Structure 1
Amino acid sequence: MQLQAEREAVAAAPISALSAQMADVRAVMEQDEQTKAMMEALRGSNINDDDAALSGTKLKVVEMSVGEGDDTLPLTYEPERLAAYFSKRPLAVLTRIAQVSSTSFSWLLGVLFDTATGKLKPNSEAEVEQVAKLRSVIVSLGPFFIKLGQALSIRPDILSPKAMVELQQLCDKVPSFDTQLAMTTITDELGRSPDEVFSYISPAPVAAASLGQVYKARIRGTEEEVAVKVQRPFVLETVSLDLHLARQLGRLLRATPLSSRLDICELIDEFAPNFYQELDYNLECANGERVRADMKRLPQVIIPKNYAALTTRRVHVAEWVDGEKLSQSTADNVGELVNLGVIVYLTQLLDTGFFHADPHPGNMLRSPDGKLVILDFGLMTTITDNQKYGMIEAIAHLIHRDYARIGDDFVNLEFIPEGVDTSPIVPALARVFDAALAGGGAKSINFQELAADLADITFKFPFRIPPYFALVIRAISVLEGIALKGNPQFAIVDEAYPYISKRLLTDESPRLRAALRYMVYGKTNSFDVDRMIDMLQALEKFVAVKDNGDGTAFKVNGVRGFVDLGSAGSMVGTRQVPPAEVASDESFDIGNLADAADGRRLTEQALSAAEASRAREALQFFFSSEGDLFRAFLLDEVVAAADALSREAAYELASTLSLESLPAPPLIKQLVPALSPPLSTKDQQVVTSIRKLVAFFLGDTQPQQLLSRAASAETLQQIQALLPVIADNRVQMRRFGLQIVGRLAEKQTSRALGFLRTQVAAI
């Protein structure tokens, strides 16, 4: 019973409290060397972000023709066609095998020796040393091996934490290829010489990577500055051959014990389609324009314009954007841009479903005017509706510590195959999360028991991290890693919760409506006004970050700048709404407010910006068209509160006037209590909750101030700050009021009919 009470207390706490607990847990967990390595690996703390290639690096490719007619190299990943294509080119196959063998021979000998002597074990020094040597081998062998290494470096279900950290130091920067070859490629692809297309193009590349290199140029005629990316010769051919050989190797290894831990064919089949996307610059161009359209709602985010008319499969032209890497910037708004980056990735993850799958620190810049720039859309992944909704549902279940449903979420999110009974996993999940979020704090955690429970979950069940989720973890972790460098108190939960709240409060899909109800009502089906206010505060933060790139220092229940966010139920608002100019007279007639609310006497002066007064952004949202779903969601609670208040008022009136003593027919005397039954405990709770919610909506304005015929100038300013909200949304307010009146009438009609049925039955 005590454990259940602790769980319910945690579930009822605001998200900021949960965030603080998780931060405490993280700090203590990082005292364990292996856990710290895992968290650093997930954050990409060791990702090599160098701008130049390692000295002595030489990229090895296979030079061959793509073929012609029916015998051409496929431009998408088709394993059977690749096998047929390379079966006719044994010389190219042997050449590549010789390149790979000669480059990796000494490394393979070292691995075999360490294995034979028993040194090569997970997280051992020998493993770290061999992975470090492997990096130079990988870079020399080209794009396939580099991309495969980078993909493995974010897979904790395949590599040990230390191996992940070491592999993340892979550098994608390689020596540039000859510029004359690049100019020839531009001519072949565009059908015009570079001089015809560009009035200027840099004589040498400004950056070079394994797939291609970039030149700075100006478009002839418009003089727009652009980045021209040219694909490296023979990359498609070499990558295709490597994929074919790796898959053939995987088929041979399926008969060995290694396949129980890693199915190479399955890994290649997951990895290869995205790789081919990166090799088609037409797709990158289309991806960039789609993301640019999706992000127009975020004014502080810059997505470079793409020039489709100048882009082909091997040449990509995009707007040149100056900036410094976010991971290397020392500007004072880096934290704000990280918060904005969280919204960008969550918008892609949970809204558009079109997710930037290459979350590298080098792909995020800070522009000279302080905006967030996101680059390189060659690698994208699609998130299905089931995955989007499943992640939000899992968050709601975690907040309420509903472990049975979390077990189902693992199946829904593809961590565990369908058909597996997850009920045995629930006790282990409960122990893990109860230990991590225990009331005694993180220092009370027994890490040996926690590790045993985690092992129980991961090894006793067919548990795997789905590829899409590995990319999600990487994206969010990279953002967290950047933020933690400048702000050790950064909490990803605080920054993600505003967006999640916004989705729950506005999305009309049946699954998210059910998730919203669960979030607010929980397992007990009891309205939790503090949770609702917590979500509305988070919504206000989302608006601040989305519109202004702001919000870096304030959390839910925190302070940002001069704006106090308050706590659940606080009378303090978050957004500063410009109030009306006020007259010198310090009295105020409530009749003027009524006229203004009707929109008839609201003047331009009433909308002018004088001194800042606070009114809730949430109030604006509640009565806006975007708040339709939320109003419908709250209607039952508001009607229940209004009904309870009206019954309470009727009872008090009857008591004050001593109506019981007045002469009246018995039927009438019985009708009055039937229509106004005494308030139950639940009725009183509903009234308290709605009063708390109203107080939150009004911000600094006390509810009783709205009923006063005489108020101070300060109160008048506070009331007038509400006038724009009332005027802008009077149609929705009137409609909502009519809905309440209609539902109240239904309740009274139902009571009256019930009373009449009782009387008739008694005759």
Structure 2
Amino acid sequence: MGQPKLQGLRSYDPEVIARYFQARFWLVIARAVTVGWTLLTFVLALKWDHWFKGADRNRLKRASQLRQILTDLGPTFIKVGQALSTRPDLVRQDFLDELVKLQDQLPPFPNALAFAIIEAELQRSIATTFKDISPDPVAAASLGQVYKATLHSGETVAVKVQRPNLVPRLTLDLYLIRLSARWLGPFLPLNLGHDLCLIVDEFGIKLFEEIDYINEGRNAERFAHNFRHSTQVKVPSIYWRYTSQRVLTLEWIHGYKLTGVQQLQAMNVNPDEIVYIGVTTGLQQLMEMGFFHADPHPGNLFAVPANPETDTPCQMAYIDFGMMDQLEQESKETLVDAVVHLLNKDYEELAQDFITLGFLAQGTDIRPIVPALEAVLGDIMGESVQDFNFKVVTDRFSQLMFDYPFRVPAKFALIIRSIVTQEGLALSVNPNFKIVDVAYPYVAKRLLQGETPELRRRLLSVLFKEGRFRWERLENMIRIARTDGQFDLLPTAQLGLQYLMSEEGRYLRHKLLLALIEDDRLHTEEVQRLWELLKDDLQPSKLMSSAWDAFTYFSREQAANLFPAMVESPSPKR
């Protein structure tokens, strides 16, 4: 029959789902009536409070009611609530306190059913698999629940069990949402309605990936490999012998949720440090690795205190790898460009970045868009770069979608959600947090260090405009990079010297010499400003050591390319 066909669906297929529910229209109508009536009742209750001056009196009641409504509507709507729970700048505090409970304080399903799923999936009894297991789940989330157990070999593990009958419930909601998107699309402004179904499909693809625990285990191992050299990121080990598509067994993490400053401080965790780790590792995922966590809500992140006995620093632990995505190399590089162009107010280049990233179609005339970008984003930083706020950027950018042919590519919907969620999470820990305090020093540091040819080319594009060297940009970039407490100027200077002495750096050597005598004058004033900015970090002995290391990095043949006259001059005859 049809039901087994849905139960066995391993990946999201909108055509298969549509054919299934078109033949069962009564299920669709019943679900649509349930969802529509439930949400309409809540909206009317809010209106009633407003009309009869009862909003303040019923705040806590309505907040609890909203959480209960999303819980009753099931996994899809719980996911919406989870995203809202990380946005204290969007959701008022009473609603926020309730929505946070959607992370892992959801009603569990019966233990007997969970244990039966474990035994059926692993094909062995609970007693054979585990030395002991908690009688009740320690956490219940939208798609599954978690038990704490001990293996017979002695390791403490978390056992994640998927909720029963999940595929039929998810597919029905996804079908309804996609149907609504197709119906509503023509009535929305062109750019909001465009690709609305594709965004739903992207969400469906990720949701099906999330309910495949074998896929999640592979994601975890790939994520751990990416951060193998980092002491700031903790990824639990996967126990494959006790893992299947619907059961995941992984290392137990001894950490604390990111639920507020006071709790973290009570656990000897520095809130600013854990926020810094969270944002920088998020930037690394997007701009370096390309493989990023698309659902970084508080239920998926833990702060692990420093351990002096093992000399382990404070760490951020990621525990859920169901919703991940991949960013192509060109997109990673363009994201770096876009951040720099936005903060340097290069709106023409920013418009080109939007074309490269797919926010504007190829061939779009950017001439009317450039002044619109400047008008909307021109004062985004206020008096200084530290006033920048990503939430403000997304709000301002949404204004442009009504008047210009912008669209949000399906993949970037997840990226935007990830960044906004990280910023919201950081704000919940530190209300004074500014994402640019971490993001722009990170980008500036990466450009200045120029580990790859692509980044070095981007540094040149930042420092040179229309053939002229932009001294103020170099000063600004160094000044901002130094606000990163982990930025060490000497290794960066050494990398720079190595690059200048290389064959690849020949063009830059030539351009720098021209910059020093630009406009028929020696730019001693700019050089002096740079020296004043750097002199405290560039002590002569350390600088000479770094310069010597950079010089000896090259072979005699490479030195010959740099100083041909010295090498080719014949030795004097005696």
* TM-score, normalisation: structure 1: 0.60
Q: How does 1:63-462 map to 2 (within 5 A)?
A: 66-67=3-4, 73-86=8-21, 90=24, 94=26, 97-98=29-30, 101-102=33-34, 104-105=36-37, 107-108=39-40, 135-148=67-80, 150=82, 170=99, 171-172=102-103, 173-221=105-153, 223-253=154-184, 262=193, 265-328=197-260, 329-330=264-265, 331=268, 333-369=270-306, 370-436=314-380, 457-462=400-405
1:684 to 2:522 alignment = yes
Q: In structure 1, the residue corresponding to 2:244 is in which secondary structure?
A: coil
Deviation string 1:333-354 (CA, Å, 9 cap, x unpaired) is 2212221222211111011111
The SS at the match of 2:331 is helix
Q: What CA distance in whole angstroms lies between the structure 2 residues aligned with 1:408 and 1:635? A: 28
Report what 2:436 is aligned to: 493
Residues 450 and 459, structure 2, Cα contact 8 Å, conserved in 1:
no
CA separation of 1:109 and 1:360: change in aligned 2, threshold 3 A: closer
Deviations 1:104-151 (A, max 9, x none): 535436758999xx99xxxxxx9x999986553332021122225556
- Which amino acid letter does the alignment assign opposite residue 492 of structure 1? I
Which whole-Å CA distance do the structure 1 matches of 2:316 and 2:96 have between them?
28
Change (3 A) 1:333 1:617: farther
Q: CA deviation at 1:484?
A: 4.7
**2:334 is matched by which residue type in structure 1?**
G
Q: How does 1:549-564 map to 2 (within 5 A)?
A: none
- Whichever residue aligns with residue 352 of structure 2, its letter is D
After superposition, residues 560-709 of structure 1 pair within 5 angstroms as: 616-622=490-496, 634-636=508-510, 682=520, 684-685=522-523, 699=536
Matching of residue 527 in structure 1 with residue 469 in structure 2: yes
Amino acid paired to 1:350: M
Q: Give yes or no for contact 1:295–1:301 (8 Å, CA) kept in 2.
A: yes
**Which residue identity lines up with residue 503 of structure 1 in the other structure?**
R
**One-letter code aligned to 1:731:** T
Report the secondary structure of 2:325's partner residue. Answer: strand
Contact 1:150 1:168 in 2 (8 A): no
Cα-to-partner distance string for 1:526-581 (whole Å, 9 max, x where unaligned): 33455435545666776x64xxxxx8xxxxxxxxxxxxxxxxxxxxxx67xxxxxx
Which residue identity lines up with residue 283 of structure 1 in the other structure?
N
Letter aligned with residue 510 of structure 2? D
Alpha-carbon distance, 1:239 to partner: 1.0
* Number of the residue aligned with 1:740: 562
- SS of corresponding position for 1:397: helix
Q: What amino acid maps onto 1:421 in structure 2?
A: D
Q: State the distance in 2 between where 1:259 and 1:192 align.
A: 55
Which shows bigger deviation, 200-209 or 146-155? 146-155
Does the CA-based 8 Å contact 2:351-2:366 persist in structure 1?
Answer: yes
In structure 2, relative to structure 1, the CA distance for the partners of 1:475 and 1:626 (3 Å cut) is farther
Rounded Cα–Cα distance in structure 2 between residues aligned with 1:277 and 1:385: 22
Gaps of 5+ in 1: 1-63, 120-125, 444-449, 546-550, 552-573, 576-615, 645-678, 704-718, 749-763
- Give the structure-2-normalised TM-score: 0.78
Summarize the Cα distance change of 1:294–1:174 in structure 2 as closer, same or farther, 3 Å threshold. same
Q: Which residue in 1 is equivalent to 2:55? A: none
For the 8 Å contact 1:396–1:515, the answer to whether it is kept is: no
Conserved in 1, the CA contact under 8 Å of 2:161 and 2:247?
Answer: yes
Distance in 2 of aligned mates of 1:309 and 1:627: 53
Equivalent residues in 2 for 1:469-548, closer than 5 Å = 469-484=412-427, 490-504=433-447, 505-510=449-454, 512-521=455-464, 523-529=465-471, 531-532=473-474, 534-535=476-477, 545=486
Is the partner of 1:296 in helix, strand or coil?
Answer: coil
Report the AA paired with residue 495 of structure 2: F
Residues 1:142 and 1:493: Cα distance change in structure 2 (over 3 Å): same
Change (3 A) 1:234 1:625: farther
Deviation of 1:680 after TM superposition, in Å, equals: 7.3
Residue deviations 1:437-478, cap 9 Å, x none?
5769999xxxxxx99997863321133444444444444444
Partner of 1:660: none
Moved more, 328-337 or 731-740: 731-740
**Partner SS, residue 158 of structure 2:** strand
Aligned in 2, Cα 1:216/1:193: closer, same or farther, shift over 3 Å? same
Report deviation, 1:402: 2.0
Structure-2 separation of matches of 1:234 and 1:626: 62
Contact 1:287-1:377 within 8 A present in 2 as well? yes
Q: Deviations over 1:362-395 (max 9, x none)?
A: 3222113222212211101222223222222222
SS of residue paired to 1:67: helix
**Paired residue total:** 540
Question: SS of the counterpart of 1:459?
Answer: coil
1:509 and 1:441 map into 2 onto residues whose CA distance is 27
User: SS of the counterpart of 2:469?
Assistant: coil
Following TM superposition, by how much is the alpha carbon of 1:99 offset from its aligned partner in structure 2, in angstroms? 5.5
Amino acid at match of 2:160: K
CA–CA distance in structure 2, aligned partners of residues 541 and 627 of structure 1: 28
Q: Quick one: distance in 2 between partners of 1:131 and 1:390?
A: 41
CA contact (8 A) 1:206 1:215 kept: yes
Question: What are the superposed Cα offsets for residues 261-307 of structure 1, whole Å, 9 maximum, x if unpaired?
Answer: 55763442231111101110111111111111101222121111122
Q: Is the 8 A contact 1:74 1:81 kept in 2?
A: no
* Range moving further from structure 2, 414-423 or 464-473: 464-473
- CA distance change for structure 1 residues 167 and 144 in 2, over 3 Å: closer, same or farther? farther
Deviations 1:247-273 (Å, cap 9, x if unpaired)? Answer: 344445556669985576344223111
Report the AA paired with residue 139 of structure 1. T
**Structure 1: how far apart are the matches of 2:236 and 2:271?**
20
**CA separation in 2, counterparts of 1:240 and 1:417?**
32
Instruction: Describe the shift of the 1:502–1:214 C-alpha distance in structure 2 as closer, same or farther (beyond 3 A).
Output: same
CA deviation vs aligned residue, 1:216-274 (integer Å, no higher than 9, x gap): 112222x1111110001111221122223433444455566699855763442231111
Residues 1:96 and 1:145: Cα distance change in structure 2 (over 3 Å):
farther
The structure having more radius of gyration, on CA atoms, is: 1
Q: State the Cα distance separating 1:197 from its structure 2 match.
A: 2.0
